[in-house]
Structure 1
Amino acid sequence: MSLSVTAAAEVFRQALRDSVRRHSFWYLVQGVILIAAGVLSIIYPVISTVAVVTLLGWLLIISGVAQGISLIGAGQAPHFWLQLISVALAILIGLLFLRDPGQSILVLTLLLIVFFMIEGISKVVLSLTIRPFPNWGWIFASGLVGIMLSLILWASMPVTAWWLIGLMLGIELISVGGALAWLAWQVRQGA
């Protein structure tokens, strides 16, 4: 028996919704950690260059680990590999920041542009996949924030200031964390 494309798409969406329901606690934990990391990033963006790079490195590693934890046991979930790429990028960029805190602002800006764009696209794809799910729009909006932040950084690249990078990273982390926490909270309230 073959499925139509529409029926297959609905089966795919339902599998993702079931995965979100099963792992809602980890999505909630991840959201809270991302919000806390975002607030820290906004509060401390004007300290010395080395301290900012170190802080951003640790924030990216922590957010990557939090995202990775939420993926434990979700290997069969739709878009698992896209989310796993987002985790790997966060941890890799964080480690690169820690390895050489004296790196140029241009390299830092380029790495964040890639991170924000991939993170944004992955959240937009996730939201469109769970679209009929309540509050899917928050995930979609957080993805758009990531894409917009990457475009703003790209446009301001020759003169990017350290405080701007820290501020944008904080906005991205709060946006993604808030959207995931709200979605998980609503799922848990409905369960």
Structure 2
Amino acid sequence: MTISMDAAAELYRQAMREGVRRFSLLYLAQAGLLVLAGFLSIISPIFSAEAVIGAIGWLLVASGLLQGIGLIPARHTPYVWLQLISAVLALLIGFLILRNPGQSLLAFGLLIVVFFMIEGLSKVVWALTIRPILGWLWVLLSGVLGVVLSIILIISLETTAPWLIAIFVGLQLIAIGAAIGYLAWSIRQVAAQSKPIG
């Protein structure tokens, strides 16, 4: 039996809604921790440049772990690999930064550019695959922000200070956390409203 593309897309969206609804508390906790990590990244420039680079490395590792843990119960939802890319990328870039926190600013900036670009593109693709689920637009905007930040960094890489990169990383983590949180909260609210009374 074959089904149309529209029917297949609707089945996917329904599975996605159900997966996010079932694990909405975990998604909300993950979102809150990502937003917190983003704020920590934004305030980290009060330290020395090397301390900022180390802090960003640790924050990326923590965000990758948070995203990965959030995917464990949702591992059977469709297109979970799009979110897995974000988790693995954050861990990989974080470990590369921590392996050599005294690396040149150019090498550090290039790692962050790669993080922003791939993270942004994966969020854009994920948002377009879950559209029109309530909250998809916020996921899309967080992805677009990542791509825009990567382009800004590429253009000004040789003159960008570590504190500005820390602020960019903070903004991206806050955007991702807020988007995931809004998506989970919206789906949770819709599910609560559609429950039969009695």
Aligned with 1:185: secondary structure? helix
- 8 Å CA contact 1:106, 1:157 repeated in 2: yes
Matching residue's letter, 2:120: G
Could you tell me how far apart the structure 2 residues matched to 1:135 and 1:102 are? 40
Could you tell me how far apart the structure 1 residues matched to 2:76 and 2:185 are? 23
The runs of 5 or more residues in structure 2 that have no matched partner are: 193-198
State the partner residue of 1:76: 76
State the partner residue of 2:160: 160
Matching residue's letter, 1:126: W
Aligned with 1:103: secondary structure? coil
Could you tell me how far apart the structure 2 residues matched to 1:155 and 1:24 are? 38
- 8 Å CA contact 1:49, 1:102 repeated in 2: no
- 8 Å CA contact 1:16, 1:129 repeated in 2: no
Alignment of 1:79-90 (within 5 A): 79-90=79-90
The runs of 5 or more residues in structure 1 that have no matched partner are: none
Deviation at 1:6, TM superposition (A): 2.2
Deviation at 1:14, TM superposition (A): 1.8
- 8 Å CA contact 1:46, 1:162 repeated in 2: no
State the partner residue of 2:196: none
- 8 Å CA contact 2:17, 2:187 repeated in 1: no
Could you tell me how far apart the structure 2 residues matched to 1:136 and 1:30 are? 17
Is 1:15 the counterpart of 2:15? The answer is: yes
Matching residue's letter, 1:171: L
Identity %: 54
Using the size of structure 1 for normalisation, the TM-score is 0.94
Is 1:39 the counterpart of 2:54? The answer is: no
**1:7-58: CA deviation from partner (whole Å, max 9, x where unpaired):** 2222222222221111211111111011101111111124212211110011
State the partner residue of 2:48: 48
Aligned with 2:75: secondary structure? coil
State the partner residue of 1:126: 126
Question: In the superposition, relative to structure 1, how do residues 175 and 45 fare at CA in structure 2: closer, same or farther (>3 Å)?
Answer: same
Could you tell me how far apart the structure 1 residues matched to 2:156 and 2:79 are? 32
Bigger CA drift: 31-40 or 132-141?
A: 132-141
Could you tell me how far apart the structure 2 residues matched to 1:45 and 1:183 are? 30
Ranges of 4+ aligned residues in structure 1 off by more than 6 Å: none
Matching residue's letter, 1:55: A
**1:115-155: CA deviation from partner (whole Å, max 9, x where unpaired):** 11111111112211221211221111111111111111111
Using the size of structure 2 for normalisation, the TM-score is 0.91
**1:48-104: CA deviation from partner (whole Å, max 9, x where unpaired):** 122111100110011001100110022222221222121111111111111111001
- 8 Å CA contact 1:38, 1:170 repeated in 2: yes
Could you tell me how far apart the structure 2 residues matched to 1:132 and 1:6 are? 12
Aligned with 2:45: secondary structure? coil
Could you tell me how far apart the structure 2 residues matched to 1:125 and 1:78 are? 13
Larger Rg: 2
Aligned residues between the structures: 191
